[in-house]
Structure 1
Amino acid sequence: MPEESKPPRPRNAGRGAPVLAQFTAREQVGPATREALAGCWTDVTNAGGAAGFPFPPVDRSETGPALERIVDALAPDSCRLLAAVRDGELVGWLNLRRDQFELIAHWGTLHHVQTHPKVQGQGYGTALVQEARRVAREEMGLEQLRLAARAGVGLEDFYGRLGWREIGRWPGALRLAPGDDRDEILMHLSPL
């Protein structure tokens, strides 16, 4: 990522691991980083990834505005963006959110978890999800995390290996095409 858009606290999980960056405010996300985030989202979606745009192909005219809504909502207590960087290039990201309503403010949700197709299977998604768990617990004071995932692409296995458990499904909730209805899998991680 270009120097002007680096967040204040990158973390490296160890030798050979990705650099993990965290953004907690709009002004931390410069134009080049926004372009990299939207580009990753476009590439992931067009490769069939389940990251928020169910009907590929998409282009940056779609991913860009959706990304801007996430960036506009960034705040230390309620909305963070985590990114994985390899050799200065963004290779994955996710959005961690909490609702401020006091009844449910003790839990958060993961959204748009993704790694670029050229690096999938190399541990970047695992590193991002593990870092989200750490940030949720240590920095945001959350007690549990939730997410919804599309069935039929192996996501429940991926998250299951990281300690998440399936707590329910909405049968046929996601219609990707005529005759291609998928369950929405509800997953939970607790304690953090």
Structure 2
Amino acid sequence: MSTPSAVSTSEPGFVQIRHPHEITEDLQRAAAACWREVSDAGGAAGFPFPPVDPQEVGAAAEAIVAGLSPDRSRLLVATVRGSLAGWLNIRRDPHPLVSHWGTLHHVQTRPEVRGQGVGAALMRSARTVAREEMGLEQLHLAARGGAGLEEFYGRLGYREIGRRPGAYRLAPDDDRDEVLMALSPL
């Protein structure tokens, strides 16, 4: 697997990483930098209290890469003009009772590409990878309530299947629901 190549338009391209050895150090650093940028801008991608610690984000990114496996965990990277614009992690639990569905984790796009369709294209690409390559029948995700994410995912066909009220405490008087969403069938 090679690193992302230059894209001649602002249409996103996609790189799928199935094994830890397929990711370059530069791409892994770019993914961690994206995660820091998104988190520091208030994004709901796993680190809620900006500014985030670069070492903590780097270690979390390394753990995701270490767990990559074609059957259980893939990294999907969106690029625009050869630069990382966003990424997400598709995971499947191998237990036979639930192995027909997967979960999206850490869905994010760099703040400077927001509103340009990169996030929606990344989600559509994840759907295709999940269905056609991983053989999944459903995708699930958890979104932070109050951030407009329910509407974003809803436009892509996801529906709310539950909530955990007040699951996230962002500040003493700022509790947010965790919104559970699913896309089925793929």
Distance in 2 (alpha carbons) for counterparts of 1:127 and 1:60:
27
Matched, 1:61 2:58: no
| TM-score between the two structures when normalised by the length of structure 2 | 0.95
| TM-score between the two structures when normalised by the length of structure 1 | 0.92
Matched, 1:90 2:80: no
User: How many residues are treated as equivalent by the alignment?
Assistant: 185
Supply the AA of the counterpart residue of 2:79.
V
Aligned to 1:6: 3
Out of 116, 119, 126, the residue aligned to residue 125 of structure 1 is: 119
Out of 183, 186, 189, the residue aligned to residue 177 of structure 2 is: 183
Aligned to 1:99: 93
Aligned to 2:70: 76
Aligned to 1:142: 136
Supply the AA of the counterpart residue of 2:35.
W
Out of 10, 33, 48, the residue aligned to residue 42 of structure 2 is: 48
Supply the AA of the counterpart residue of 1:52.
G
Deviations, residues 34-88 of structure 1 (Å, cap 9, x unaligned): 1100000000000000001111111321110000000000011110000111111
Identify if the C-alpha distance between structure 1 residues 16 and 38 changes in structure 2 by more than 3 Å, giving closer, same or farther: closer
Aligned to 1:174: 168
Structure scoring higher RCO (CA < 8 A, sep ≥ 6) equals: 2
Which runs of no fewer than 5 residues in structure 2 stay unpaired?
none
Please list every run of at least 4 consecutive aligned residues from structure 1 whose deviation after the TM superposition is greater than 3 angstroms: none
Distance in 1 (alpha carbons) for counterparts of 2:73 and 2:156:
22
Distance in 1 (alpha carbons) for counterparts of 2:10 and 2:109:
17
CA RMSD of the aligned region, Å?
Answer: 1.7
Check conservation: 1:107, 1:144, Cα contact below 8 A. yes
Which runs of no fewer than 5 residues in structure 1 stay unpaired?
none
